[in-house]
């Protein structure tokens, strides 16, 4: 008689693990001209012909500004325990200077109160790419003064919400703000100046440091201050010296340019060498690194797909396969001698390879880079071409499989000694996906853009079950 099969051991998470979803202000709020809000760089960029798919913009987005109570109730129904959202700088401090507009702050006060009333822990991101247009007109992120304006803004929001919000994130993905905004130009403000992009990266680092200090001065000491990096998992195409050097160059430009000064108080020397023909880095002033290198309470990691790079062949041509949009201008200053390769495997609608091992590698890297620092996965998710069936249901088994694989990778990292305390699915809702307009759907909740009706996809039901049980349901458990 054959031995009975052993039951499958469920993948369980620590009891205090946060099960969250994430959004950003410009992608969901709409109401761009209400209650004193002034234009951000994304308002300007998205209304510039040719910058976004179909000329689409976030004027209405998914109208979260007016529907936030329903959205919070939806999260509660799913069983989520945390919600990460960003504050629109232009909504609370129009033009990026001067006193706060209380009507703008009141929206976030109401949102926080609604979350707490439903037992959902709020996590506030201060900057998710929507710089007030007047600050861009004054020079934007390459202008040093922008960091000081950010610190004033951080103090305003910290004073308004710090008594009820314990988790804070200064910046989301400063790499995108610096290099997609100022080098390749595929994101707002759409500039293509490699030297300016490196200055922007430094100013963003300075803004993080000054903003961290401002938050700590304006909030209870119990609150946690972090930032979210889209640190890239960079893999060499081979172990040849030239490919290893190419991987080091991209690692410096993707990761070291931020975590070097923020975590370790210094930029990588190899970064200076790689970019010496673009800038002499004289914009780094005495004392800047000490201002940037503030102690963190946690670190947020955003992950979607790994990068595979090699030294460029002399005849390399065609588009860059780096997954960061199409542009004649590179978001990698000083790295024209590097080729990006499509990694093998299944892909999402973004063309990004699905590889949960990259998330495990990323977590373990920062477990080593910053021992003792708690980690959160502040973004992870996938875009698919989701459509309702004749009964109005939205079944997305590909996203369920994606989430299962990546959450299992998080659990493996925890078993390997990583201190990962939460996971924020990107994204709660289908929304305005930046330069892609509304054609890429990352949401666990389907949004009919004509009616703005919300319909939880099967992935939302699956993820909600995981949140309620602390275990990963079988991939095919939701039909």
The C-alpha angle with vertex 449 and arms to 444 and 450, in degrees rounded to 5, equals: 145
Angle, CA 373 vertex, CA 82 and CA 142 arms, to 5°:
85
Q: How many CB atoms neighbour CB 62 within 10 A?
A: 26
Identify the residue whose tokens are 């490919």: 243
> Cβ distance 172 to 182 under 8 Å?
no
CB atoms within 10 A of CB 150: 27
Give the containing element (helix H, strand E) for 107.
Answer: helix 102-117
Main-chain dihedrals φ then ψ at residue 69, nearest 5 degrees: -65, -40
Distance CA 252, CA 247 (A): 9
CB 15 within 8 A of CB 477: no
379 belongs to the catalytic site = yes
The answer to whether 159 and 124 are in contact (CB under 8 A) is: no
What's the rounded Cα separation, in Å, for the pair 314 and 365?
33
Q: CB–CB of 381/457 below 8 Å?
A: no
**In the beta sheet, which residues pair with residue 420?**
375
Q: What are phi and psi of 374, to 5 degrees?
A: -60, 145
Q: Look up residue 113 and give its two tokens.
A: 């109160």
Token duo for residue 396: 């997305």
List Cβ neighbours of 95 (8 Å cut-off, separation of 6 or more). Answer: 38, 132, 134, 135
First-to-last alpha carbon distance for the chain, in angstroms, is 35
Annotated active-site residue in 29, 114, 379, 433:
379
Q: How far apart, in whole angstroms, are the C-alpha atoms of residue 176 and residue 95?
A: 22
- Closest by Cα among 22, 55, 52, 58 to 40: 58
**Three-class DSSP category at 6:** coil
For residues 362 and 227, give the distance between their C-alpha atoms in angstroms, rounded to a whole number.
Answer: 16
Tokens of 68: 């936030």
Of 270, 271, 309, 264, which is closest to residue 290 (Cα–Cα)?
264
Catalytic residue among 152, 173, 398, 474: 173
Tell me the C-alpha distance between 376 and 384, whole Å: 24
* Residues recognised as catalytic: 173, 379
């Amino acid at each position: 008689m054959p031995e009975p099969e052993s039951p499958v051991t469920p993948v369980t998470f620590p009891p205090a693990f946060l099960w969250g979803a994430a959004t950003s202000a410009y992608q969901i709020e709409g109401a761009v001209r209400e209650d004193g809000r002034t234009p951000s760089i994304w308002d300007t960029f998205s209304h510039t012909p040719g910058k976004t798919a179909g000329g689409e913009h976030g004027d209405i987005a998914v109208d979260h500004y007016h529907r936030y109570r329903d959205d919070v109730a939806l999260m509660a129904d799913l069983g989520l325990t945390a919600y990460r959202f960003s504050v629109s700088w232009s909504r609370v401090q129009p033009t990026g200077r001067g006193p706060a507009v209380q009507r703008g702050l009141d929206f976030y006060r109401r949102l926080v109160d609604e979350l707490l009333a439903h037992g959902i822990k709020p996590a506030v991101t201060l900057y998710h790419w929507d710089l007030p247009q007047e600050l861009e007109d004054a020079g934007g992120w390459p202008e040093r003064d922008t960091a000081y304006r950010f610190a004033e803004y951080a103090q305003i929001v910290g004073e308004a919400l710090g008594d009820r919000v314990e988790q804070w994130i200064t910046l989301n993905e400063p790499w995108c703000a610096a290099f997609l905004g100022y080098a390749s130009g595929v994101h707002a403000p759409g500039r293509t100046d490699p030297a300016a992009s490196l200055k922007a990266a430094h100013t963003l680092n300075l803004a993080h440091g000054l903003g961290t200090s401002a938050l700590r001065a304006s909030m209870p000491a119990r609150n946690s201050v972090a930032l979210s990096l889209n640190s890239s998992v960079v893999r060499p195409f081979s172990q040849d010296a030239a490919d290893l050097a190419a991987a080091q160059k991209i690692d410096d430009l993707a990761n070291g340019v931020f975590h070097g000064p923020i975590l370790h108080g210094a930029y990588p020397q190899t970064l200076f060498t790689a970019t010496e023909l673009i800038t002499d880095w004289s914009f780094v002033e005495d004392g800047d690194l000490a201002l940037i290198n503030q102690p963190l309470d946690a670190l947020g990691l955003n992950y979607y797909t790994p990068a595979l790079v090699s030294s460029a062949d002399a005849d390399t041509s065609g588009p860059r396969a780096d997954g960061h949009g199409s542009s004649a201008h590179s978001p990698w200053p000083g790295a024209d001698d590097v080729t990006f390769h499509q990694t093998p495997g299944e892909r999402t609608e973004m063309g990004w390879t699905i590889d949960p091992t990259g998330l495990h590698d990323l977590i373990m890297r920062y477990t080593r880079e910053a021992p003792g620092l708690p980690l959160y996965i502040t973004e992870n998710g996938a875009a698919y071409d989701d459509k309702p069936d004749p009964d109005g249901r939205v079944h997305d088994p590909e996203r369920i499989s994606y989430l299962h694989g990546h959450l299992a990778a998080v659990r493996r990292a925890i078993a390997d000694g990583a201190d990962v305390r939460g996971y924020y699915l990107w994204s709660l809702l289908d929304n305005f996906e930046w330069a892609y307009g509304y054609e890429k759907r990352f949401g666990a909740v389907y949004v009919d853009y004509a009616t703005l009706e919300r319909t939880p996809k099967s992935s939302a039901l699956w993820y909600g079950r995981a949140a309620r049980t602390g275990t990963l349901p079988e991939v095919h458990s939701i039909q």
